[in-house]
């Protein structure tokens, strides 16, 4: 019955240990996921910062380029109008997709000779005020795609006579700049207007009037993350935010370009984080398996050792039983004395013949009891010498 109870206890202990290991592994998995998500968020933010710097630099280079073209054109202008043929020749040798000229009256001239009224465009009004800058035109008159225009005023004899504009097809021009991969997975990256309108994206078919609203509606980001990202759109600066576990992306980075009022939005691929988490958890599982194996080996060693000790104890008990049985045939009672502990104890259920002596106690009491069994005289003195130990005697005087 005792053996069965011991087995049940061992099973219970093993179950408790298993539960403890599972709880610890669950804690490890949760902490590992949080650590991985935070690390990838910081990594994505660093990468997005580099992308922002690169786009900002490219836009500044393009703006400087159109100013250079304007400078040389001003040197050779004889009339306040640039002929279509001149535009065509210049566009063929330029880095822009096309070059356009707007005269002082707001008439826009394309390199193929087409004209259009652009008096309501911001690049015309700002350019005629002497300003240079970048304008994103979502409904250009000469093309069916969104255009990124770099404009600067043209001067003749000190007067502003028009606006020179170099333009890129936004999707083609920005796509290479926005294309980003993380460990073989493509990230979704968008360049947006401050109101959330997408100028261009790294994926095909980007057509989102308000990017954050669309991402939230599609379950890509959660409401709280969308609110945090919206704050950056409204107030400027940069931000990197972790999304909820239910979202389709792990984190989102929102950053304004340093020199221009455009916003970069980057979504980190969730598959990358999940793959990293699985790899880290697999390492943890392997570690647990090794620990279980070592524990099992340790338990086996303990069992084998306990079996050997049990056999040894059984053998010693049998031998001691033989001795006790032999002694029982000669004596009715016998006592074990521990001189180091200064104690005695009657064995095998025997008790002292005298009622005044306990079955166990200090050796001095036992020695005095033995001495009283011998009559006063020389024999008693000799016996006292035999049973005496340092610090104890039979009560007749301290030993010498």
Over the stretch 321-330, which tens digit does the pLDDT of each residue have?
777 666 666 6
H-only helix segments in the chain: 2-76, 84-92, 122-128, 170-178, 211-217, 223-235, 270-330, 363-372, 378-387
Could you give the CA distance from residue 128 to residue 126 in angstroms, rounded to a whole number? 6
More confident residue, 82 or 21: 82
154 vs 20, more confident:
154
CB 269 within 8 A of CB 249: yes
**What are the backbone angles phi and psi of residue 375, rounded to the nearest 5°?**
-65, 155
Q: What is the pTM of this model?
A: 0.67
pLDDT digits (tens, 9 = 90+) for 350-373: 778 777 788 788 887 777 777 777
Residue 13 — very low, low, confident or very high, per pLDDT cuts 50/70/90?
Answer: low
Q: 227-283 pLDDT, tens per residue?
A: 999 999 999 999 999 999 889 998 999 999 999 999 999 999 888 877 877 777 677
Q: How far is CA 385 from the centre of its chain?
A: 80
Within a domain: residue 103?
yes
Whether 167 and 238 share a structural domain: no
Is residue 258 situated within a structural domain?
Answer: yes
Taking only the tens place, the pLDDT of each residue in 111-129 is: 888 899 999 999 999 999 9
Q: What is the CATH number of the domain that holds 86?
A: 3.30.450.20
Between residues 391 and 23, which one has the greater pLDDT? 23
Q: Which two tokens stand for residue 287?
A: 């570690």
393, pLDDT greater than 70: no
In this predicted structure, the answer to whether residue 222 has a pLDDT above a threshold of 90 is yes
- Residue 393 covered by a domain: no
- What is the maximum span of the chain, computed from C-alpha positions, in angstroms? 154
Asked if residue 368 belongs to a domain, the reply is yes
3-state secondary structure at position 387 = helix
In this structure, are 153 and 97 located in the same domain?
A: yes
Cα–Cα dist 296/292, whole Å? 6
**Residue 139 token pair:** 């409904």
Residue 29: HSE in the Cβ half-sphere, 13 Å Cα cutoff = 13
Taking residues 169-175, report their average pLDDT. 86
Residue 251 in contact with residue 44, Cβ under 8 Å?
yes
**Domain hosting residue 204, numbered range:** 2-61+179-275
> 262 and 189 in one domain?
yes
> Based on the structure, what is the number of domains in the chain?
3
Q: Please, what is the average pLDDT of the chain?
A: 81
Query: Locate tokens 């890509």: which residue?
Result: 220
Looking at the fold, whether 184 and 230 belong to one and the same domain comes out as: yes
Closest CA to 196 of 172, 180, 213: 213
């Amino acid at each position: 019955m005792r053996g069965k109870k011991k087995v049940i206890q061992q099973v219970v202990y093993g179950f408790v240990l298993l539960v403890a290991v599972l709880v610890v592994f669950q804690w490890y998995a949760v902490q590992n996921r949080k650590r991985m998500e935070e690390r990838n968020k910081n990594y994505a933010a660093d990468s997005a910062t580099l992308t922002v710097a690169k786009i900002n630099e490219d836009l500044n280079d393009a703006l400087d380029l159109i100013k250079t073209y304007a400078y040389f054109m001003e040197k050779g202008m004889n009339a306040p109008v640039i002929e279509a043929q001149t535009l065509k020749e210049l566009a063929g040798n330029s880095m822009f997709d096309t070059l356009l000229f707007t005269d002082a009256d707001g008439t826009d001239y394309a390199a193929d000779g087409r004209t259009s009224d652009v008096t309501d465009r911001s690049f015309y009004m700002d350019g005629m005020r002497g300003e240079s800058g970048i304008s994103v035109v979502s409904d250009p008159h000469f093309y069916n795609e969104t255009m990124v225009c770099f404009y600067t005023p043209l001067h003749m004899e000190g007067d502003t006579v028009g606006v020179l504009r170099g333009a890129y097809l936004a999707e083609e021009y920005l796509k290479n700049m926005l294309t980003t991969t993380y460990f073989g997975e493509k990230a979704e990256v968008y360049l947006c207007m401050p109101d959330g309108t997408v100028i261009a994206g790294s994926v095909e078919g980007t057509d989102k009037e308000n990017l954050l609203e669309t991402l939230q509606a599609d379950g890509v980001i959660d409401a709280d993350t969308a609110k945090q990202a919206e704050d950056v759109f409204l107030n400027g600066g940069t931000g990197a935010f972790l999304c909820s576990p239910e979202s389709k992306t792990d984190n989102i980075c929102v950053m304004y370009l340093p020199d221009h009022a455009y916003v970069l939005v980057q979504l980190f691929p969730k598959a990358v984080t999940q793959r990293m988490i699985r790899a880290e958890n697999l390492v943890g599982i392997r570690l647990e398996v090794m620990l279980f194996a070592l524990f099992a080996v340790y338990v086996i060693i303990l069992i084998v050792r306990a079996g050997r000790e049990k056999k040894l104890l059984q053998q010693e008990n049998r031998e001691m039983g033989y001795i006790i049985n032999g002694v029982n045939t000669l004596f009715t009672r016998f006592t074990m004395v521990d001189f180091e502990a200064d104690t005695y104890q009657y064995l095998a259920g025997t008790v002292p013949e005298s009622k005044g002596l306990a079955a166990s106690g200090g050796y001095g009491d036992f020695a005095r009891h033995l001495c009283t069994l011998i009559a006063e005289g020389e024999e008693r003195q000799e016996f006292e010498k035999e049973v005496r130990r340092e610090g104890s005697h039979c009560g007749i005087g301290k030993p010498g």
